[in-house]
Structure 1
């Protein structure tokens, strides 16, 4: 159990790094590897294990904020790209009149 929790913490650090680099594919792969480890945790934990779990929870909260911010940026960029496409399309239609 201790090895699983240590591995989950290592994976959480790797996830934090992947998200900070906006490497969403790597982040997804890390989450897929980490989730089963977290699902095997027992309710009763040692104080040391509880501290690791709390660390993972704090890191997850920060990762969630970074992910939301990244999603908002991507959404904004997507909207801007669509607007540019519409503008170019209108320019071409107007030029053909």
Structure 2
């Protein structure tokens, strides 16, 4: 992976974090798709500068995973609450039909 590719992967990772902070998950997914081939092309030998950027990417990835997990949990909670409201509405309508 050339220095240019490592730098681009680093930029994409920073932008991905910003997209997650903004709640733009579709854009974040697009950025992850763009970044993935760059990360997959990592070679064994890297310059010290590239290794420093790669370490930063790894640290940002941990933050990305935490943010994604938190967002997933929030969506799951919201979905569960919505299902409970639908169930309550169904019970209300069923009780009204029993009269």
> Shorter-chain-normalised TM-score: which range?
over 0.9
Unaligned runs of 5+ in 2: none
Q: Which residue of 2 aligns with 1:58?
A: 59
CA distance in 2, matches of 1:96, 1:29: 49
Matches within 5 A, 1:64-83: 64-83=65-84
CA deviation map 1:48-76 (0-9, x unaligned) = 10000000000000110011011011101
Unaligned runs of 5+ in 1: none
Matches within 5 A, 1:1-97: 1-97=2-98
CA distance in 2, matches of 1:91, 1:56: 52
Per the normalisation by structure 2, the TM-score is 0.94
Report how far residue 22 of structure 1 moved: 2.1
Report how far residue 88 of structure 1 moved: 0.5
Per the normalisation by structure 1, the TM-score is 0.96
